[in-house]
Amino acid sequence: MTNTHCPYCSLQCGMTLERTGPALEVTPWPEFPVNEGALCRKGWAAAGLRGHRERLTTPLVRDSHTGALRTADWDEALDLVAGRLRDLRETDGPDSVAVFGGGGLTNEKAYQLGKFARVALGTSQIDYNGRWCMSSAASAANQAFGIDRGLPFPLADLEQTDVLVLVGSNLAETMPPAARHLDRLRDRGGRVVVIDPRRTSTADRADLFIQPVPGTDLPLALGLLHLLDAGGAVDEEYIAARTTGFDAVRCTAAGWWPERVERVSGVPAGELRELAGLLAAAGRVVVLTARGAEQHTQGTATVLGWVNVALALGMPGREFSGYGCLTGQGNGQGGREHGQKCDQLPGYRMIDDPAAREHVARVWGVDPASLPGRGRSAYELLDALGTDDGARALLVFGSNIVVSAPNATQVGERLASLDLLVVADIVLSETAALADVVLPVTQWAEETGTMTNLEGRVVLRERAVAPPEGVRSDLDVLAGLAERLSAPGPFHTHPETIFAELGAASAGGHADYAGIDYDRIRAEHGVFWPCPTADHPGTPRMFEGSFPTVDGRARFVDVEHVGAAEQPCEDYPVHLTTGRVLAQYQSGAQTRRIRDLADPGPFVEMHPMLADRIGVVDGQPVVVSTRRGELQAPARVVATIRPDTVFVPFHWVGANRLTNDALDPSSRMPEFKACAAAVRS
């Protein structure tokens, strides 16, 4: 029996793994506080990928004669990769090799990948799929609060607030055990507000449901602030004592009267007034954003708009109140703290800060001047591959980019133009199938490592079973390559040793893990960062006395509505938005292969009025097209979506051939959640 955590989302639900003969059974771990024994379908079925016939158990290399992948042994595969990387570096310089990581990797792996890129390859070209996940919220939180921890309080605090506003989150399907907090909050007499272009199962739990046009959450926030200010509901005392910058924000909001908001967002002015009334009367308010609000070209500005609402009400730092982002991937939080982002070093340090470089270089035993500078963000990195100033080789650890990147056809073409594509994965994902070298790695339950969940709680995933013969951990792969590249300084393979090194590298940074160790995590059901010393209790709640900004105050940032990069027009008259369904996870590389999660596949969700107009009924095939591509899938006709909007889940190949690669100027987040589309039968 091993207590561990789910392989999937940012809740990192606790579960117990039991071995029954060769099989592995998932059973509850009721004592773990985040999920209290509850799991969603994906969690219960997580062991379905153990012993799966499609599991990779031997390296594959592309045969130069046949063009097909053939099996190889580890030495051949690693020698080949290292040799090609060394040659490229000599002929084209260190930036000719790029690295792409993932928010599902453990902290130890994310840390080691960042170190490998900077020290073994010397490349600035590293980024990861978290850029597509919560980077707009991260950018906004850094600007407003001086730090980016998704939730600055434990998830269970939600139950104690008075009004909870969920902006673009479908948590009943994306983190189902968390939905119990909504139910308990309502049992206590609190209210839940859900803002989504679709009436989701989360919206079914709402006291007030608001259904805007995709990409118009910022005007809603501005209109709300307008009403709160006009009604005398802003907390002048808090604003004076704990913030800066309100005057400019107040001035901008003055221009967003409710009828103007209605014209832009489609939300009746009366509903906005109702929401303002709820917030004005509440002592405690929590505003949470998720991908619906964030995955836009104005995602950062939108989050800042909602942070401004929370600050104007005097909430951040007050008990059971404030703003938070619901991070998505299993290690979406930790994955962004330890250096796989192009501009960051471990401990959430910035790579162009001389003091940060000095500190981390000392831990790594290298000259600070040898560390590269800032690289390109995820989409820009991919989009430059194979071009004159882009990388010629790419190493992918923990992402299935040809399915999950925006404008995926273009990304596929960039990958095809590479000299070398290396993918480490547990199955032959759509991206691995394009690789020149595929490296089979261990998965959850076969290896130990820490994850940092959406609350900033560092938890320990423990190994429960031996991996299949022939696979190696990502850490072994990195060490094997580092050795062949004669990289300086140790590249350990033992997770606990790497965690101690990570702790030292993070010490003194924002995300300080120096006081955390595996035994503490086991004993305390996880430890919240920052935790600078072994006798520090960790930090479940932040901002009580001050904010980690230069002057200790939170900043109102003045933001204006620009709108989605692509607006409906005569040729593409509807809004297309994308997202998730309960039974599938991300690109589906893992969950599509699990029999217990069998699913009818992709669909195009649309309103009966739209279905009528194009002459289809539920279940009939339709074609969705955008300026970038087409997708055919059955119509799912439901009255719960706006009539001017269609929704496609992205767990299958195709959705991202449609999506727009326009980026948020600050976070470099692509606009997955809004583009212009046409639908026909």
Q: Which residues bind ligand SF4 (CB under 6 A)?
A: 6, 8-9, 11-13, 35, 39-40, 42-43, 175-177
Residue with tokens 């490296």: 439
The verdict on 328 binding Mo ion (CB under 5 A) reads yes
Residues of the chain by 3-state class (helix, strand, coil), percent to 5: 35, 20, 45
At closest approach, how far in Å is the CB of 334 from Mo ion? 14
At closest approach, how far in Å is the CB of 41 from ligand SF4? 7
- Which lies closer to ligand SF4 via its Cβ, residue 175 or residue 674? 175
- Which lies closer to ligand MGD via its Cβ, residue 119 or residue 405? 405
Q: Is the dihedral of CA 664, 586, 59, 47 positive or negative?
A: positive
At closest approach, how far in Å is the CB of 549 from ligand MGD? 27
Q: Can you read off the two tokens belonging to residue 410?
A: 């273009």
Q: Which of 47, 178, 225, 290 binds ligand MGD (CB under 6 A)?
A: 290
Contact map string, positions 293 to 332, toward ligand MGD, x by CB under 6 A: x-x--------------------------------xx---
- Which lies closer to ligand MGD via its Cβ, residue 243 or residue 333? 333
**Are 456 and 150 spatial neighbours (Cβ–Cβ below 8 Å)?**
yes
Element (H, E) at 66: none
The verdict on 133 binding Mo ion (CB under 5 A) reads yes
- Which lies closer to ligand MGD via its Cβ, residue 185 or residue 203? 203
Residue 463 interacts with which of Mo ion, ligand MGD, ligand SF4, none, CB < 5 to 8 Å by class: none
- Which lies closer to ligand MGD via its Cβ, residue 162 or residue 196? 196
At closest approach, how far in Å is the CB of 45 from ligand SF4? 9
- Which lies closer to ligand MGD via its Cβ, residue 297 or residue 344? 297
- Which lies closer to ligand MGD via its Cβ, residue 149 or residue 555? 149
Q: Which of 399, 448, 452, 506 binds ligand MGD (CB under 6 A)?
A: 399
From its phi and psi, is residue 367 left (phi > 0), alpha (psi between -120 and 50) or beta?
beta
**Are 252 and 222 spatial neighbours (Cβ–Cβ below 8 Å)?**
yes
Q: Can you read off the two tokens belonging to residue 425?
A: 């994965």
Binding residues among 470-529 for ligand MGD as defined by CB under 6 A: 474
- Which lies closer to ligand SF4 via its Cβ, residue 38 or residue 208? 38
- Which lies closer to ligand MGD via its Cβ, residue 218 or residue 234? 218
Contact map string, positions 414 to 443, toward ligand MGD, x by CB under 6 A: ----------xxxx-x-----------x-x
The verdict on 175 binding Mo ion (CB under 5 A) reads no
Binding residues among 107-126 for Mo ion as defined by CB under 5 A: none
Q: Is the dihedral of CA 630, 631, 635, 637 positive or negative?
A: negative
Give the residue from 411, 435, 409 showing the smallest Cα distance to 424. Answer: 435
Residue 43 interacts with which of Mo ion, ligand MGD, ligand SF4, none, CB < 5 to 8 Å by class: ligand SF4
- Which lies closer to ligand MGD via its Cβ, residue 305 or residue 317? 305
Binding residues among 205-234 for ligand MGD as defined by CB under 6 A: 214-215, 217
At closest approach, how far in Å is the CB of 584 from ligand SF4? 11
What's the CA gap between 555 and 547, in Å, rounded? 9
Q: Which of 29, 111, 116, 132 binds ligand MGD (CB under 6 A)?
A: 132
Element (H, E) at 340: none
DSSP line for 216-249: -HHHHHHHHHHHHHHTT-S-HHHHHHHEE-HHHH
The stretches of 436-473 forming alpha helices (DSSP H) are none
The verdict on 182 binding ligand MGD (CB under 6 A) reads no
DSSP line for 548-606: SSTTS-EE---------SS---SSS-EEEEEE--TT--TTSTTGGG-GGG------EEE
At closest approach, how far in Å is the CB of 6 from ligand SF4? 3
What's the CA gap between 597 and 42, in Å, rounded? 7
Across the beta sheet with 437-440, the strand order is 69-71, 60-62, 437-440, 420-425, 393-397, 97-101, 126-128
The verdict on 258 binding ligand MGD (CB under 6 A) reads no
What's the CA gap between 35 and 33, in Å, rounded? 6
Stretch that binds ligand MGD, among 18-26, 111-119, 163-171, 479-487 (CB under 6 A): 163-171
**Are 663 and 379 spatial neighbours (Cβ–Cβ below 8 Å)?**
yes
The verdict on 113 binding ligand MGD (CB under 6 A) reads no
At closest approach, how far in Å is the CB of 150 from ligand SF4? 14
Residue 177 interacts with which of ligand SF4, ligand MGD, Mo ion, none, CB < 5 to 8 Å by class: ligand SF4
CA 475 to chain centre: 22
Q: Which of 587, 625, 660, 667 binds ligand MGD (CB under 6 A)?
A: 587
Q: Can you read off the two tokens belonging to residue 672?
A: 């997955």
606 bridge partner residues: 637
Residue whose C-beta lies closest to ligand SF4: 43
Query: How many of the chain's residues bind ligand MGD (CB under 6 A)?
Result: 64
**Are 564 and 297 spatial neighbours (Cβ–Cβ below 8 Å)?**
yes
**Are 304 and 143 spatial neighbours (Cβ–Cβ below 8 Å)?**
yes
Q: Can you read off the two tokens belonging to residue 341?
A: 């982002």
What's the CA gap between 201 and 534, in Å, rounded? 43
Task: Give contact residues for ligand MGD (rule: CB under 6 A).
Answer: 9, 102-105, 129, 132-133, 167-171, 173-175, 195-198, 200, 214-215, 217, 290-293, 295, 328-329, 397-400, 403-404, 424-427, 429, 441, 443, 474, 577-580, 582, 584-587, 589-590, 647, 650, 655-656, 659, 672-674
